[in-house]
Amino acid sequence: MNEPIKADFDIESGSYADAALGFRNHWYPALLSDEIAEDQLVPLVMLGENILFKRIDGKVFAVRDHCLHRGFKFSAKPECYTKNTITCWLHAFTYNFKNGELIAIPSAPNSPLIGQRRLHSYPCEEHNGMVFAFVGDLAPPPPLFDDVPPGFLDKSWTVVGAVNVTCACNWRVAADSGFDPNHVFIHKEDGLMDSLQRSFPLAQRFQGGNPFHSIEERIGPGPKGIVDQLGKAEPIFEFTFECDGEVGHMQSKYPPDEMAMRGFKSIQGSMWLPCALKVEPWPILDMAHYEWYVPIDERNHRYFIAWGKQTDSDESRAAFILEAKTKWRDIGFENFNRTDVIANNACQESIEGVRYGRNQVLCESDGCTMAWRRFASKHNRGVQVRQ
Amino acid sequence: MNEPIKADFDIESGSYADAALGFRNHWYPALLSDEIAEDQLVPLVMLGENILFKRIDGKVFAVRDHCLHRGFKFSAKPECYTKNTITCWLHAFTYNFKNGELIAIPSAPNSPLIGQRRLHSYPCEEHNGMVFAFVGDLAPPPPLFDDVPPGFLDKSWTVVGAVNVTCACNWRVAADSGFDPNHVFIHKEDGLMDSLQRSFPLAQRFQGGNPFHSIEERIGPGPKGIVDQLGKAEPIFEFTFECDGEVGHMQSKYPPDEMAMRGFKSIQGSMWLPCALKVEPWPILDMAHYEWYVPIDERNHRYFIAWGKQTDSDESRAAFILEAKTKWRDIGFENFNRTDVIANNACQESIEGVRYGRNQVLCESDGCTMAWRRFASKHNRGVQVRQ
Amino acid sequence: MNEPIKADFDIESGSYADAALGFRNHWYPALLSDEIAEDQLVPLVMLGENILFKRIDGKVFAVRDHCLHRGFKFSAKPECYTKNTITCWLHAFTYNFKNGELIAIPSAPNSPLIGQRRLHSYPCEEHNGMVFAFVGDLAPPPPLFDDVPPGFLDKSWTVVGAVNVTCACNWRVAADSGFDPNHVFIHKEDGLMDSLQRSFPLAQRFQGGNPFHSIEERIGPGPKGIVDQLGKAEPIFEFTFECDGEVGHMQSKYPPDEMAMRGFKSIQGSMWLPCALKVEPWPILDMAHYEWYVPIDERNHRYFIAWGKQTDSDESRAAFILEAKTKWRDIGFENFNRTDVIANNACQESIEGVRYGRNQVLCESDGCTMAWRRFASKHNRGVQVRQ
């Protein structure tokens, strides 16, 4: 048999297959804003690095969670003698939290190390209820704007981070699946459809079979990503097959009406470096959905969701922020994207011990996945390796 | 000092030392028949492979538990739209369970993959209350008859699988010990002896010291195995040693009477590829005992026991089946072979991180073990490696 | 910037960086005397080796906990038919516990292995309530006297082992920290100071900055070790720094009085091969403190403490032994050195996966650590590797 698609994929797989720890020199969501209060220290692992966050006078800063001297992890027993500093429990090496500079050693007050050595300091920015950190070496870092999906920083919209959950699988499993319009099959019994009385397809079929070569690329300036062709796809609500004389039948829970069909035709998915998906409109017509798959280590990632809506007043803005964190967190995450978490975690075993993608047989309907892997391989700023 | 025996062993160790996952292209017990009901799906690991079993219209079939497309493990969330098929939860790739053929992709109904690609399908056969699966590539597989001990499929006997337990050690530890007539020492306090008021030796001594070169080989046609010389051995019921002026004394719980001695002289042990032991007569004069050590992975195996007896009517046949699963499971397994499980599991630590057998010093009474290792190395159909 | 000190360290790091399992051919504490009663078997792991101890007629002996025949760990189900012997549960191979000699095989009573093969036997000595074992191949071993700190075996003192706890970090983390006069910072809130109403410094400053080149070496005959220059150091009880306009202030709980200062000037720390620290006077003026960091495996060690005092009668001797095991165990260990255990265990993560010391930036006040690493690398009798 011929395998033109898999061959295609193999040629293009490139650095994505090596990026178990994600792509270096990019901005990533680290926390939701309300997960770090003034003066609070929060230790996290991102892309395999131990990072310690602190909010000082309202602004979040981050340094490597590892004292230069003996390697003690500050967060194991943190001491702060001023709001701007972190002191190592072992020998009182004291650093400026805002830039990582070593500023004092009580046992060696005149050491030439003071003022010369510094902890790695991670640039941070905070927008839309989310704290972002830049993991890499570029100084200054590129603008955050280049590393978030279009519209996310748009002032005319209210966008709000509402979900941060840790998932037990590599970030690429989630990224591949999130941008794959055919993973809809796992959602066929989700509560979201009942809540919205919405029909939902079992699959999407593309004109001509494979959308791979016609997927639209955006290579900047600004965010880099790819946009799917879902509007050209045919949603499938019913499917029948035959095997050894028996007939199998799959059917969506709610059959589509004309309005639902128009809705499906208008949805556009897009995938942005380093690891963000945008779906719009979603979960309802006047909203946008953003999600990120942030590498923790080779086997875990953090899953963030933000929702956006155009608002025209401080009141409507405040109301939507509350709605996102309650109603949409319940309907959109607990009764829909939670299923993605379950499905993705169940795939982790299958990728252990093999080069990513190697034991898969992609087909005509995997054009989006193939395009994302190729695009990410080509346009990332570097593959993260264990530091 | 001279070490002729260890040298002998080293020369012959061959592929047995590499077979941490067992031998490929052989039949193995997978389940007891009553562990898989009509329509039931049972996922197992055998020889390091994930395999999914299903009983369809009474007959058991098995396929690789790994969707070709993205590698999802079907058993993590199995969907069956007909009794003959398995559908992947992720994208509804649907396969014929009986032969593994990919028969439908809802999102790509015309994909050339359909009808061309297939899951690995494992031939299955069911006899004597046990389901056997062939793990390998030979098509068609050799007859099951070649891979079970002689007599197991004999219609004039009633043979019934009665025990299936998972043990936390490599299968070779159990195989070496099961066929070793001197491991009897561990059984000296087992309940079986009390139940049967039977004497049981502490050790077996062979004429001339080492039975290695006189062990009988059966190389087919039919099952391949080796037969011990237990009839020529002298069972030892009492043993005394001296150390630094103190005398140590070991004694069997029940001293042997003449009938018991005749019984011991009649017992014959034999070991068959890929991993089965037969002991006859055992545990009493008119019965036969079969056991298998089926590799799960490098550190675990499944231990099966079947017992057989000649029966002359449907009633006596049914009575023996019940007796095996109750009385003999209790006396023969829980009060005897359970001790083997404990002893074998305790040996796992000693084989970690060294080539199998390398840190052992065999002696004159290890002829059976040496012969089995050599025979298995020479006559197996291939060493299993991680697929 | 210049890094003269780190460069120095790198040149000298030598075998210490390879000694994850400690140094071979040295004596180590194995147990406190009251942890092994007459006839009791105690299995331990030391330097990665499985060792089985037994007290026979009052004296402790030790053999490798691994039967030569099949590698069974005796301690998994030990059998002793006489007080002097150990018999393997599997095939009754029987050994003289006092020298490891194989003395009987019931199934092969005439085997040439008998009397020729032996288990590795570990020389043991017992002093001051502690059992020491020699881990290595030298026969005869060097005297225990050469491997304990000076004074430990002095008959005019009463010295008593009082603490044996297992710690979850490599022994070198504990050794480096124990001999480092600047790790005092972790003790600033310990209960010992409250109990003794004692002032305790936050740091120690050395004249000229770095004491590295002036540390005194003792290279034998007798124990080999190095002696710190603490008497020349200036204890620091208060420290102030400034960062971005804010002032940070650290202060000892109890300010020093003149007598305390004289006390500090008299304390001398010294570090002895293979892994022992001596501090004198400590914890009070007329006592001496000894501690050992005994490798278990790459990630764990056993921490022993003994305290000593000059006594002039059997009564005062008995009283001090009781006092050490009650009062000093509580004040000196639970309310002081327990903090070292917490700090050291928290450092284990930082040394995983890198050559020991490689990801550290030592400074002027690390002279003691540097000197110990260099000294140990030069004077040890061999680096232990997995046997």
What is the number of helices (H) and of strands (E) in chain B?
A: 7, 20
In a shared domain, residues B117 and B50:
yes
Q: Write the DSSP symbol of residue A280.
A: E
Whole-angstrom Cα distance, residue C63 to residue C75? 11
Residue A74 burial class via C-beta count within 10 angstroms: exposed 0-12, middle 13-18, buried 19 and up? buried
A316 and A217 together in one domain = yes
User: How many angstroms separate the CA atoms of B349 and B359, rounded?
Assistant: 12
Query: B116 with B151, same domain?
Result: no
Where residue C229 falls among pLDDT bands split at 50, 70, 90? Answer: confident
Tell me if B79 is assigned to some domain.
Answer: yes
pLDDT-derived band at C90 (thresholds 50, 70, 90) equals very high
Q: List beta partners, residue A54.
A: A41, A61
Pair (A102, A217) in one structural domain: no
Is B185 in Cβ contact with C92 (below 8 Å)?
A: yes
**Torsional sign, CA C262, C265, C269, C270:** negative
Distance CA C267, CA B97 (A): 79
Burial of residue C171 (CB within 10 Å: 0-12, 13-18, 19+) is buried
C-alpha dihedral (C65, C66, C67, C73), degrees to nearest 10: 80
ipTM surpasses 0.90: yes
Q: Which residue range is the domain that position B253 belongs to?
A: 144-379
Owner of token pair 């970690």: B352
Percent residues over pLDDT 90 in chain C: 83
Q: For A247-275, what is the mean pLDDT?
A: 90
Which chain A residues touch B77 with a CB distance below 8 Å? 342-343, 346
Which chains border B (3 or more CB–CB pairs < 8 Å)? A, C
Query: Chains touching chain A at 3 or more Cβ pairs under 8 angstroms?
Result: B, C
Within-domain flag for C27: no
Are B188 and B328 found together in one domain?
Answer: yes
Structural domain contains residue A7: no
Coil vs helix vs strand at C79: strand
CA-based radius of gyration for chain C:
23
Q: Is A213 inside any structural domain?
A: yes
Whether C170 has a pLDDT exceeding 90, the answer reads yes
Calpha distance B367→B373 (Å, rounded): 10
Contact A215, A228 (CB under 8 A): yes
Q: At which of C101, C134, C167 does a domain end?
A: C134
Predicted confidence band at C210 (pLDDT cuts at 50, 70, 90)?
low
pLDDT, averaged across chain C: 93
CATH number at residue B36: 2.102.10.10
Rounded to the nearest 10 degrees, what angle do helices C4-12 and C367-379 cross at? 20
Q: Among C84, C110, C116, whose Cβ lies nearest the Cβ of B209?
A: C110
Q: pTM higher than 0.80 for the full model?
A: yes
pLDDT at A197: 85
Lowest mean pLDDT among A13-17, A292-296, B215-219, C99-103: A13-17
- pLDDT band (50, 70, 90) for residue C387: confident
- C366 CB neighbours in chain A (<8 A) are 69
Cα separations in angstroms, B386 against A17, A354, B44, B274: 21, 11, 16, 18
Shared domain check, B202 and B123: no
Residues C279 and C224 in one domain: yes
Report the gap between the CA of C204 and the closest CA in chain A (Å). 5
Most distant CA atoms of chain C, gap in Å: 87
DSSP 8-state class, residue B121: B
Residue, of B2 and C175, whose pLDDT is higher: C175
Question: Do C226 and C272 have their domain in common?
Answer: yes
Q: Nearest residue of C to residue B211 by CA position? A: C108
In a domain, C250, yes or no: yes
For A147-173, what is each residue's pLDDT tens digit? Answer: 999 999 999 899 999 999 999 999 999
Residue A5 is predicted with a pLDDT of 45
Among B135, B168, B192, residue at a domain's last position: B135
Are the C-beta atoms of B82 and A247 separated by less than 8 Å? yes
CA distance B204 to A49: 61
Q: List the structure tokens of B15.
A: 């592929």
Spatial CB neighbours of B330, under 8 Å, sequence gap ≥ 6:
none
Contacts of B138 (CB under 8 A, 6+ apart): B25, B381
In 10 A of CB C189, how many CB atoms?
10
- Tokens 């959109």: give the residue: A332
For chain A, the first-to-last Cα distance in angstroms comes to 44
Q: Within 13 Å and on the Cβ side, how many CA atoms surround A6?
A: 16
Q: Are residues C113 and C259 in the same domain?
A: no
Query: Cβ A71–C362 below 8 Å, yes or no?
Result: no
Q: How far is C360 from chain A (nearest CA, A)?
A: 5
CA distance linking residue C257 with residue C260, whole number of Å = 5
Grouping H, G, I as helix, E, B as strand and the rest as coil, residue C208 is coil
Statement: residue A320 has pLDDT above 60 = yes
DSSP assigned state of B136? S
Say if residue C112 is preceded by a cis peptide, omega within 30 of 0.
no
pLDDT of residue A213: 64
Q: What angle separates helix C171-178 from helix C338-351, to the nearest 10 degrees?
A: 130
Domains held by chain A: number: 2
Length of chain C: 387
Q: What angle do CA A223, A322, A261 make, to 5 degrees?
A: 60
Give the distance from residue B358's alpha carbon to the nearest chain C alpha carbon, in angstroms: 10
pLDDT confidence bin for B210, thresholds 50/70/90: low
Residue pLDDT, tens place only, A84-98:
999 999 999 999 999
Query: What is the per-residue pLDDT across B107-151, written as a single tens digit (0 to 9) for each?
Result: 999 999 999 999 999 999 999 999 999 999 999 999 999 999 999
Closest residue in A to B111 (Cα) is A364
Out of C86, C116, C134, pick the residue that ends a domain: C134
Contacts of A379 (CB under 8 A, 6+ apart): A219, A224, A273
Residues paired with residue A309 on neighbouring β-strands, in sequence order: A158, A287
The single-letter DSSP state of residue B132 is: E
Over residues B234-285, the pLDDT tens digits come to 899 999 999 999 999 999 988 888 877 888 888 999 999 999 999 999 999 8
Domain assignment present for B16: no
Residue B17 belongs to some domain of the structure: no
Helix, strand, coil % in chain C, rounded to nearest 5:
30, 30, 40
pLDDT of residue A2 exceeding 70: no
Q: Which residues contact B182 (CB under 8 A, 6 or more apart)?
A: B203, B204, B365, B366, C91, C107
Q: Is the peptide bond before B140 cis (omega within 30 degrees of 0)?
A: yes
Of C220, C217, C218, C261, which Cα lies nearest the Cα of C237?
Answer: C261
Give chain B's end-to-end CA distance (angstroms, integer): 44
Write the pLDDT tens digit of every residue in C15-55.
999 999 999 999 999 999 999 999 999 999 999 999 999 99
Q: What are phi and psi of C124, to 5 degrees?
A: -125, 145
Q: Which residues contact B180 (CB under 8 A, 6 or more apart)?
A: B366, B368, B369, C91
Find, among C192, C165, C154, the residue nearest to C305 by Cα: C165
pLDDT of residue B81: 98
Q: Is the peptide bond before A221 cis (omega within 30 degrees of 0)?
A: yes
Indicate the residue of B83, B90, B111 with minimum beta-carbon distance to A363. B111
Instruction: Read off the pLDDT band of B12 (50, 70, 90).
Output: very low
Please report, for the domain that includes residue A258, its CATH number: 3.90.380.10
Q: A382 CA to chain C: closest CA distance, Å?
A: 23
- Taking contacts as CB-CB distances below 8 angstroms, the residues of chain B near A363 are 69, 105, 108, 111, 113
Q: What pLDDT, on a 0 to 100 scale, did the predictor assign at position C12? A: 46
Question: Percent helix, strand, coil in chain B (nearest 5)?
Answer: 30, 30, 40
My answer on whether B339 and B216 are in the same domain is yes
Nearest C-alpha of chain B: how many angstroms from C205?
A: 48
Q: Which two tokens stand for residue C314?
A: 């059997």
pLDDT-based confidence at residue C258 (cuts at 50, 70, 90): confident
Task: For residues B197-202, give the mean pLDDT.
Answer: 89
Q: Are C315 and C175 in contact (CB under 8 A)?
A: no
The whole-angstrom separation of Cα B28 and Cα B295 is 9
DSSP for A111-154? -TTTTT-B--B--EEEETTEEEEEESS-SSPPPGGGGS-TTTT-
CA nearest to A132, candidates A143, A141, A142, A123: A123
Decide which of C283 and A7 is more confident.
C283
Same-domain pairing of A205 and A296: yes
> Please, what is the average pLDDT of chain B?
93
pLDDT level of residue C108 (50, 70, 90 thresholds): very high
Q: Looking at the structure, tell me whether residues B89 and B161 fall in a common domain.
A: no
Cα B282 from Cα C195, distance rounded (Å): 71
Q: Across the beta sheet with A225-227, what order do the strands follow?
A: A157-167, A300-310, A287-297, A276-280, A268-272, A225-227, A216-218
A245, part of any domain:
yes
> Which residue of chain A has the CA closest to C173?
A70
pLDDT digits (tens, 9 = 90+) for B305-341: 999 999 999 999 999 999 999 999 999 999 999 999 9
CB atoms within 10 A of CB C250: 21
3-state helix, strand, coil in chain A (%, to 5): 30, 30, 40
d(CA A131, CA A124): 7
DSSP C97: T
pLDDT in tens, A33-78: 999 999 999 999 999 999 999 999 999 999 999 999 999 999 999 9
| Residue B226 confidence (pLDDT) above 50 | yes
Is A363–B108 a contact, with Cβ atoms under 8 angstroms apart? Answer: yes
Considering only CB atoms, which chain B residues are within 8 Å of A183?
A: 90-91
**Tens digit of pLDDT for each residue in A100-144?**
999 999 999 999 999 999 999 999 999 999 999 999 999 999 999
Q: Using N-to-C axis directions, what is the helix angle for A367-379 and A171-178, rounded to 10°?
A: 130
Of B85, B116, B386, the CB nearest to A1: B116
Q: Which of B180, B347, B365 has its CB closest to that of C105?
A: B365
Q: Is the pLDDT of residue C152 over 90?
A: yes
Question: What backbone torsions phi and psi does residue A63 show, to the nearest 5 degrees?
Answer: -135, 165
